[in-house]
């Protein structure tokens, strides 16, 4: 997706999503990036902003069409085969799940994900100040495995009234069904402490949890202070591939530091706005 950091026609139009004014220069850089990548005022409907604020997650809809989905699945399988036991190592390996890491650097087919204007509008709604990509990873819970403890992606604590630091999104490459290990989320839990500090057993079902059952191609964004986790793939033969596109407030380290991971070829094809989003020169 093309874009540049030239001054936009209007840099003030994101004020409604809460960019603090105390760091004008940083806020203006973020504004220019979002503008260059097509994030227009009001792009994220008020109802979806409200869902993110109140529940801590929102389903954006089916943003991947069949053609793109086919390509993404192909890439997923090719990378798993090529990387073997190294797959996922850049971020995290998990017993019972096939994982991929650092997908930013593994194909142009992924560019439309981490630069998607609706996604960026939702991320901006949650983090509400300059942010950057933290990681783009893949995950496929294998039959008979994949159950995770409820967790939040931010473990350092957050005082009441402090801003949110992280926001994640999940891009479904397969249908998520009651059988194959859909994601569970606890609505409203983004305002609570980390589940490890609150729950006796964070692996147990939670009375308030909801499950993301949706067709392949669907994208959900969740404030990742919201308690969430993968569930067991109870099928005998179904995959449940997904990509996690994860963002962090700019003042914090990224999960996969792109400056260390980006190849020269990838760096060369990126626009200034894309490089800003990755926090690379
Ligand atoms: O894939 C999912 O459903 C969630 C995965 C997750 O939260 C994690 O791997 O930390």
- Residue 58: φ, ψ to 5°: -150, 145
Higher pLDDT, 257 or 86: 86
Whole-prediction pTM: 0.92
pLDDT tops 70 at residue 9: no
Tell me the mean pLDDT in the region 138-167: 94
Name the residue with the closest Cα to ligand 1, atom 10.
229
Residue with CA nearest ligand 1 atom 8: 229
Domain count, the chain: 1
Owning domain of residue 261: 15-278
Structure tokens at 66: 């069949």
Residue pair 198/206 in contact (Cβ under 8 Å)? The answer is no
- Whether 189 shows a pLDDT value over 80: the answer reads yes
Domain CATH code at residue 166: 2.60.120.620
Does 250 map to a domain?
yes
Region 176-184 average pLDDT: 97
Query: Is the pLDDT reported for residue 1 higher than 70?
Result: no
Could you identify the atom of ligand 1 that is nearest to the CA of residue 141? 1
Residue 6 lies in a domain: no
Q: Is the CB of 242 under 6 A from ligand 1?
A: yes
Probe ligand 1: pick from 149, 229, 233, 239, max atoms within 8 Å of CB?
Answer: 229
Tell the residue nearest (CA) to atom 5 of ligand 1: 230
21-25, 82-86, 256-260 — which is least confidently predicted?
Answer: 21-25
pLDDT of residue 44: 97
Structural domain contains residue 232: yes
What is the number of other CB atoms lying within 10 angstroms of the CB of residue 34?
29
241 in ligand 1 pocket by Cβ < 6 Å? Answer: no
């Amino acid at each position: 997706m093309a874009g540049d950091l030239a001054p936009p026609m209007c840099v003030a139009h994101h004020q409604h999503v809460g960019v603090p004014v105390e760091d004008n220069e940083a806020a203006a850089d973020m504004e220019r990036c979002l503008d260059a990548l097509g994030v227009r005022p009001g792009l994220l409907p008020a109802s979806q902003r409200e869902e993110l604020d109140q529940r801590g997650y929102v389903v954006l809809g089916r943003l991947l069409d069949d053609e793109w989905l086919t390509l993404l699945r192909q890439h997923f399988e090719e990378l798993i085969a090529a990387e073997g036991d190294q797959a996922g190592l850049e971020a995290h390996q998990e017993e019972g799940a096939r994982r991929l890491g650092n997908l930013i650097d593994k194909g142009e087919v992924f560019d439309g994900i981490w630069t998607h204007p609706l996604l960026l509008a939702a991320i901006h709604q949650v983090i509400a100040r300059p942010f950057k990509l933290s990681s783009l990873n893949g995950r496929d819970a294998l039959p008979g495995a994949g159950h995770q403890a409820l967790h939040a992606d931010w473990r350092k604590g957050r005082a009441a009234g402090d801003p949110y630091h992280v926001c994640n999104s999940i891009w479904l490459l397969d249908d998520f069904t009651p059988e194959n290990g859909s994601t569970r989320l606890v609505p409203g839990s983004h305002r609570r402490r980390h589940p490890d500090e609150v729950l006796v057993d964070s692996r147990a079902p939670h009375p308030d949890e909801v499950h993301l059952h949706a067709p392949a191609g669907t994208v959900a964004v969740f404030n990742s202070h919201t308690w969430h986790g993968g569930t067991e793939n109870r099928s005998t033969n179904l995959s449940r591939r997904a990509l996690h596109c994860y963002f962090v407030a700019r003042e914090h380290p990224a999960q996969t530091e792109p400056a260390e991971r980006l190849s020269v070829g990838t760096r060369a094809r990126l626009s200034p706005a894309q490089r800003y989003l990755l926090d690379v020169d």
